[in-house]
Amino acid sequence: MKVISESWHDHIEPNTKQQAAYNTLKTAIVTLDLPPNTVLVERYIMERFDLSRTPMREAINRLYIEGFVSNFGGKGFVVNDFQLRDFIDMYEVKEALESEAAAICCSRKIPSVMTQIEDAYNKYESYCNKKLYIKSLMSDLDFHWAIVKGANNPYLEKEMSIIMDKTLKFFNIYYTEEVPERINTLYLVHHKKILDAIKGDDPCAARRAVLEHSEIVKVDARNDLFLK
């Protein structure tokens, strides 16, 4: 079962062919419709996704800049794999941005966003209690994204949206059947600490709770997924 999303910024309707092509190809990569190590043969991509050449090329170049694909020897592009080093590098950036977002969220307290954070937490808790752990993954991402929205900083959102898409790709690669119950139970405790710190107007505690959560996620990924 795959965790599906239209990405964190596709609520904005694409107003150009280039943006539409980018959305289409990125979604295909994130959901593994174009799996890791797929060579992006132009004619095949154009026919399969009904794209014209120029928008497709511009979309692929953008995906290359964002780290979703790699150029091999100047001969074309291939979809990037996702190994332990990639995950650790990504999470080091994610924890830096999100911990600061959580701290800022404490001071800005946007009512509509606070509702989103609590709703995402409650859904995550509900799915965990029902042992619907694959479904819980989307609520997990919604929780973290709502915290980013709480910082109300478009520059931070732009960088985090790329990281969130890569996190979604990671979920789809490695959580193919089920998520260990221990992980969800532990992460629920972490989410509650983050939520309580934000609601309690304690930016230092919010920042610390995000960093503690991220550190455990990295350890679990290393031990439960990459070292099996």
Closest CA to 176 of 137, 121, 218: 137
Mean pLDDT of the chain: 88
Residue 66 has pLDDT above 80, yes or no: yes
User: According to the model, what pLDDT value does residue 180 have?
Assistant: 64
- Residue range 122-128: mean pLDDT, rounded: 91
- Helix (H) or strand (E) segment spanning residue 70: strand 69-71
Q: Are residues 62 and 129 in the same domain?
A: no
197: left (phi over 0), alpha (psi -120 to 50) or beta: alpha
> In 3D, which of 71, 70, 73 has the Cα closest to residue 81?
70
Q: Which two tokens stand for residue 48?
A: 């399969």
Q: How far apart are CA 184 and CA 40, in angstroms?
A: 36
Last residue of a domain, one of 45, 63, 79: 79
Say if 9 falls within a structural domain.
Answer: no
| Letter string b/e over residues 153-170, b meaning 16 or more CB atoms within 10 A of that residue's CB | beebbeebbbbbbbbbbb
What is the residue range of 222's domain? 84-226
Question: Would you say residue 128 lies in a domain?
Answer: yes
Q: Is residue 165 part of a domain?
A: yes
The pLDDT of 74-100, averaged and rounded, is: 91
Over residues 73-87, the mean pLDDT reads 88
- Residue 128 confidence class, pLDDT cut points 50, 70, 90: confident
- Encoding tokens for residue 172? 């789809």
pLDDT tens, residue by residue, 177-227: 666 666 667 788 999 999 999 999 999 999 999 999 999 888 887 877 665
Q: Are 47 and 129 contained in the same domain?
A: no
Torsion of CA 179, 125, 118, 31, to 10 degrees: 20
214 and 134 both lie in a single domain: yes
Biggest distance spanned by C-alpha atoms of the chain: 55
Supply the pLDDT for residue 187. 85
Number of residues written out for the chain: 228
Q: Does residue 67 sit in helix, strand or coil?
A: coil
Query: What is the CATH classification number for the domain harbouring 43?
Result: 1.10.10.10
